[in-house]
Structure 1
Amino acid sequence: MEFQPYLNTIKNIIFDYSPRIAIALILLFGGLWLTSFITKTAKKIMTKRNVEITLTNFLGNIIFWTLRIMVFIAVISKLGVETSSFVAILGAAGLAVGLSLQGSLSNFAGGILIILFKPFRVGDVIEVQGEQGSVSEILIFSTKIITATNQIVYIPNGILSNGKIKNYSQLNTRRVDIEIITNYSSDVTAIKSNILSIINQHPLVLKEPKSDVFIANFTETSIHFSARVWTENANYPQVKSDILEQCKDLVSI
């Protein structure tokens, strides 16, 4: 049996495809290095310009995988693979995956909206879906918050981007609303004056906007006073606790 024709065929294939393989390998390794270099450079530029770390990492990942896909397509095209059919297959697969992961894609889109429009940042205290806590991390699909009882709660970004968010940290100041209840035998004028005196003497209460004390409601057995006090966000719990504690004896006036 003659093997020479087969050997010649193999040699011809090797000689024909060797340049393609060599170019494909150069493209592969060069592209992988260039992808990492461009991604790291882009992240450094965004960091120097004080772009939020979550957005920096997110954009860095998009740049990285986009470039990797482009390198892969370039490599297989040099090997003689028809890229148009490959792109069509990739698109069909992407559509199928997208349909099966609609909920995840909704959370992904919500993460992008949160990162771009910044309704809250890492460190902010927010209230959403009945949960209140400090934002620990903004992920692509969910947001991690830590409650006052030191519990970790993950809220899907799709819900966050479409629901109501109460942000307690976005503004520097916060109003403290305090209710004090007395009976009808109390001296209303004296109580109001004493509440204002306690408020004005507190070192953490802001002078502007001015504090206010007024009668909020009458019930069958009691009078309800309401005090509105302004303070810095960080001082909110202490100011509320201090004023309530100092006003405890006023109910008997």
Structure 2
Amino acid sequence: MEAYLDPDTYGPYFDLALGYALQLLGALLIFLIGKRVARALGNVTNKAMTKYGVDETLTKFIASSVYVALLVVVIMATLGQLGIETTSFMAILGAAGLAVGLALKDTLANVGAAVIILIFRPFKVGDFVEAGGATGTVESISLFTTTISPVDNRTIIVPNSAITAGNIVNFSNKAQRRVDHVVGIGYNDDLKKAKEVLYGVIRDDPRTLADPAPLVAVSELGDSSVNFTVRAWVKSEEYWDAYFGMLESIKLALDANGISIPYPQMDVHMDPTKEETND
């Protein structure tokens, strides 16, 4: 017995099914093609930024952001092709995005600060900096934190927002750096001789530079000492070696030349008249 389908009865259902099938096929094509286009544009963004020397972390972040943004557009177009009303969906998505943004505002602030750091480059990995309450060598810069290692080889992880919220001191972005010391001698010591000795310490140190010229000058007549300001320029990478080495050389040179380094003293004088009164 042959099955017979009455076109008048079943025809509208076939048309409806065919219409849904075409909609589904169109939506699938939009999603697949759109996804490939979004990925391709993300890769183009990545390659273009890499070509122009943009920081790798920032490059990956922007390329990923481009891909995600385009993918959201593709998904909206796909839903629209299926006949789904996207206006309410966008409103819900916007409200959810606002809620997430408020919940993660500190985290997003760190991301924004990372973008500022990576674009304006106040420092780079390997620089010795003072930022966000930490002082040391920058080990890494991520989207949320910057890792700084002090001279004692600890690890300090600083939120990026804390870095951009305050002053940033970069000790490595200049080829030369100045060593500053304050040296006190006794009032009874030979001032001119002490000045020559201090100049000799600077001249004998192979790390000090002749240009800019070093300086040794009387800067203060203190309570118990005549204070000299001693300044010498060195290469930035030799700063700490020169700083500590010069301190040791200054002490040895002053001792060798009989020049004293005074320390605070207090003289107590007893009033004999008051002692007799108490008796």
Same fold (TM over 0.5): yes
Q: How many angstroms apart in 2 are the aligned matches of 1:81 and 1:152?
A: 52
Correspondence for 1:110: 113
Q: How many angstroms apart in 2 are the aligned matches of 1:6 and 1:75?
A: 32
Q: How many angstroms apart in 1 are the aligned matches of 2:77 and 2:12?
A: 27
Is residue 202 from structure 1 mapped to residue 212 from structure 2 by the alignment?
Answer: no
Q: How many angstroms apart in 2 are the aligned matches of 1:67 and 1:163?
A: 35
1:102-126 C-alpha deviation (Å, 9 max, x unpaired): 3223223222222222222222211
> Structure 1 pair 32/152, CA: closer, same or farther in 2 (3 Å)?
farther
* 1:49-128 matches, cutoff 5 A: 49-128=52-131
Larger Rg: 2
Amino acid at match of 2:192: T
SS of structure 2 residue aligned to 1:247: helix
> Structure 1 pair 64/150, CA: closer, same or farther in 2 (3 Å)?
farther
SS of structure 2 residue aligned to 1:216: strand
Amino acid at match of 1:165: I
SS of structure 2 residue aligned to 1:185: coil
Q: What TM-score do the two structures reach when normalised by structure 2? A: 0.80
* 1:141-156 matches, cutoff 5 A: 141-156=144-159
Q: How many residues align?
A: 250
SS of structure 2 residue aligned to 1:226: strand
Amino acid at match of 1:105: L
Correspondence for 1:36: 39
* 1:234-249 matches, cutoff 5 A: 234-249=237-252
Q: How many angstroms apart in 2 are the aligned matches of 1:130 and 1:13?
A: 68
Shift of 1:10: 6.5
Over aligned residues, Cα RMSD in angstroms? Answer: 2.4
Is residue 45 from structure 1 mapped to residue 48 from structure 2 by the alignment?
Answer: yes
Is residue 136 from structure 1 mapped to residue 139 from structure 2 by the alignment?
Answer: yes
> Structure 1 pair 21/218, CA: closer, same or farther in 2 (3 Å)?
same
Q: How many angstroms apart in 2 are the aligned matches of 1:23 and 1:145?
A: 53
SS of structure 2 residue aligned to 1:58: helix
Where do 5+ consecutive residues of structure 1 fail to align? none
Correspondence for 1:219: 222
Shift of 1:84: 2.1
Q: How many angstroms apart in 1 are the aligned matches of 2:122 and 2:67?
A: 27
The runs of 4+ residues in structure 1 deviating greater than 4 Å are 4-13
> Structure 1 pair 233/79, CA: closer, same or farther in 2 (3 Å)?
same
Where do 5+ consecutive residues of structure 2 fail to align? 1-5, 260-279
Amino acid at match of 1:125: F
Is residue 167 from structure 1 mapped to residue 170 from structure 2 by the alignment?
Answer: yes
> Structure 1 pair 232/7, CA: closer, same or farther in 2 (3 Å)?
farther
1:131-161 C-alpha deviation (Å, 9 max, x unpaired): 1112222222222222222222221222221
Amino acid at match of 1:27: I
Correspondence for 2:192: 189
Shift of 1:175: 1.0
Shift of 1:13: 4.3
Shift of 1:9: 7.5
SS of structure 2 residue aligned to 1:73: helix
> Structure 1 pair 137/207, CA: closer, same or farther in 2 (3 Å)?
same
Amino acid at match of 1:163: G
Q: How many angstroms apart in 1 are the aligned matches of 2:9 and 2:166?
A: 69
Q: What TM-score do the two structures reach when normalised by structure 1? A: 0.88
1:2-31 C-alpha deviation (Å, 9 max, x unpaired): xx9998777554321212222222222222
Q: How many angstroms apart in 1 are the aligned matches of 2:156 and 2:14?
A: 64
Q: How many angstroms apart in 2 are the aligned matches of 1:8 and 1:213?
A: 104
Moved more, 9-18 or 236-245: 9-18
Q: How many angstroms apart in 1 are the aligned matches of 2:142 and 2:131?
A: 16
Amino acid at match of 2:97: G
Shift of 1:183: 2.3
1:76-128 C-alpha deviation (Å, 9 max, x unpaired): 12111112222222111112222223322322322222222222222221112
